Chains A and B, each alone.
Chain A
Amino acid sequence: MKARAYATLALLLALVMVGCQTTGGSTALGIMTGTNPEDIRGATTDIDEPEEIELGRAVTSALGSRYTLSRDEPLTRYVALVGNEVALQSDRPDLRYYFGVLDTEEVNAFAAPGGYVFITRGTLRLMRDEATLAAVLGHEIGHVALKHHVNAIKDQKQKAVESGLFKSALRVGSGFIPGVGGAVTSAVVNTPLLDLGMNAAVDLSLKGYSRSQEEEADAAGFKYATRAGYDPAGLRNFLKAAQDSGTQPAKSGFFTKLNSTHPGGAERLKAQDDQLKSAPTGGRRAAPRFEQQVIAKLPAPPGQAGQPAQPATKGTPPTR
């Protein structure tokens, strides 16, 4: 009889253990282990650098569903060299940054959390020197260095925790819930909170930032590129070129506030002019190298005689 009781108990324990592995812990186990809800709340909303990088990878993969990545290695390397030079002067020079070129004529640029930065071929086409490229990359690096994504995602996570999504996170997996069941599962399970973070990061990166965040990134881009020794007029020159070109910048990413019909464009230009008044004069433009590495190699824009059509943007660009 005793043996049967032990066997039953063992079976029950085994079932609980299986439940732990597959679900990563249940609410019942959480109660059993006396997990402090306050501890859980704080832990689930915190985002450290490794998690930020993972969010950046998710955003980058989402970007890949909308755009074709240029596999031009020399062009990618050149953009990355300029980007790294600017990033060294940023507020997070210790973060590893990755740079890529999107094979589209759309005029845009993107930053994802964790240091993933992208610029489109259409944006490069509007530039005439390296100082301009440095400034635009500096703007995107600014979003990362100032943790615009991280802060927004933390807010969303906190709201989700407070609104009760936290409970479903416990049911689905313990990946980001410490203390529940005493251990975390080794199974790879994306929790709702992680997916929420990834969705929020994708939204922010692709649909655009708040006006104040754009202004902060402009100021950061100006500062970083200037510190790197570039002509401080780079960003102003680019904003002006974009407006003068007659192209219709996308209402997302870099140009959330620079659509020709959007009042933000003029404000950004004025802010750059104001900054230039107190900026050191001079600075290199490295136009010959930019000419050689970018302008000379860019395929002719679509529609020009004898030139093949450019790869189109995948799907519909996100709108705000």
Chain B
Amino acid sequence: MKRTTIAISLLVGLATAALAAETRWVERTKVDIRAGRGSFYDIVETVKRGDQVEVLTTQDKWASVRTPSAKTGWVYEAALKPTPVPPGTSDFLKAAPGDVSTSRTAASQGAKGVYAQNYAKQKGYDYGFVEWVETHQPDGPQIEAFLKDPGDKTGGAK
């Protein structure tokens, strides 16, 4: 009897969770799904305009979503729409060779910023300036730790 009750409860729970998940459509040309509620967390997956995601929960304007490939992560709610969005990309993304990502590792993966590199080359600028900045930023855990420390005491170096 107990087992039956537990099984029914589990089923009801799963059904409730499934019903609770709301469908949303990606409105921007390209959106990074991240491991946490912040742009500095690692990218779990990148979705594109018109893709459908399931919203599992929301918190502080960020939505935890399940992507079409069943990965879960966080995305800013404003990037999603409650009604279907036709797929499409921007002229820039059509033309961009490879991926132009907001990822913190973008610069280290090569083939990023290629148009800006062209521009820098034409103008005689050092693109290494950009690469150094992009590769010397704190990561998610470092920022998380910083957010918890008010910094009013000496010795709290990060």
A residues whose Cβ falls under 8 Å from a Cβ of B: 43-44, 46-51, 53-58, 60-65, 69, 71, 73-74, 76-78, 80-81, 84-85, 87-88, 93-100, 115-116, 130, 174-178, 184-186, 188, 190, 194-195, 198, 229, 284-293
With A50-B100, A65-B124, A198-B119 in contact, do A98 and B90 touch (Cβ < 8 Å)?
no
Nearest CB of chain B from residue A224's CB, rounded to whole Å = 14
CB contact under 8 A between A61 and B130, given known A54-B115, A99-B137, A293-B157: yes
- For the complex, what is the distance from the CA of A289 to the CA of B157, rounded to whole Å? 7
Which B positions have Cβ atoms within 8 angstroms of A? 28-30, 38-40, 61, 75-76, 78-79, 90-97, 100-104, 113-120, 122-130, 132-134, 136-138, 142-143, 146-147, 149-158
Q: How far is the CA of A293 from the CA of B152 in the complex (A)?
A: 12
A-B contacts at CB below 8 angstroms, number: 189
Q: Are A46 and B91 in contact (CB under 8 A)?
A: yes
Shortest beta-carbon distance from A131 to chain B in Å: 10
Interface secondary structure of A, over-half rule: helix
Q: Which residues of B contact A73 (CB under 8 A)?
A: 136
Q: Do A96 and B103 touch across chains, with their CB atoms under 8 A apart?
A: yes
What are the residues of chain B within 8 A of A84 when measuring CB–CB? 38, 40, 138, 143, 146
Partner of A54, one of B29, B79, B92, B124: B92
Neighbour of A64 across the interface among B118, B129, B157, CB < 8 A: B129
CA distance A250 to B124 in the complex (A): 24
Known: A50-B29, A50-B96. A60 touches B133 (CB 8 A): yes
Contacts of A51 in B (CB 8 A): 90, 92, 100
Q: Are B150 and A286 in contact (CB under 8 A)?
A: yes
Output the residue of B92, B94, B143, B152 with the most chain A CB within 10 A. Answer: B92
- The answer on a CB contact under 8 Å between A100 and B133 is yes
Cβ contact within 8 Å between A93 and B133: no
Which chain B residues lie closer than 8 Å to A95 at the CB level?
39, 102
Chain B residue with minimal CB distance to A187?
B97
Known contacts A58-B116, A188-B115; decide if A85 and B146 are in contact (CB<8 Å). Answer: yes
A190 x B118 contact (CB < 8 A): yes
Task: Provide 12 A-B residue pairs closer than 8 Å at the C-beta atoms, listed in order of the A residue.
Answer: A50-B93, A57-B130, A58-B119, A77-B142, A77-B158, A81-B143, A87-B39, A194-B115, A198-B119, A229-B150, A289-B153, A289-B157
Query: Given contacts A98-B134, A198-B115, A292-B155, could you give 17 more A-B pairs where the C-beta distance is less than 8 Å?
Result: A46-B90, A50-B96, A54-B116, A60-B116, A62-B125, A64-B129, A65-B126, A69-B133, A76-B133, A87-B39, A88-B38, A94-B75, A98-B137, A130-B151, A285-B152, A286-B150, A287-B152
- The distance in angstroms between the C-alpha atoms of A114 and B56, with both chains bound, is 29
Residue contact B151 to A288, C-beta cutoff 8 Å: yes
Q: Measured between alpha carbons, how far is A48 from B95 in the docked complex, in Å?
A: 13
Chain B residue numbers with a CB within 8 Å of A43 are: 91
**A95 vs B75: C-alpha distance when bound (angstroms):** 11
- Give chain A residues whose Cβ lies under 8 Å from the Cβ of B151: 130, 284, 286, 288-290
Complex CA–CA separation, A48 to B122 (angstroms): 24
Q: Which 7 interchain pairs have the tightest Cβ spacing?
A: A64-B129, A286-B151, A57-B116, A94-B76, A289-B151, A51-B92, A61-B120
Q: Which residues of A contact B129 (CB under 8 A)?
A: 60-61, 63-64, 69
Instruction: Please tell me if the beta carbons of B118 and A49 are within 8 angstroms of each other in the complex.
Output: no
In the bound complex, residues from chain A placing their C-beta under 8 Å from that of B40 are 84, 96
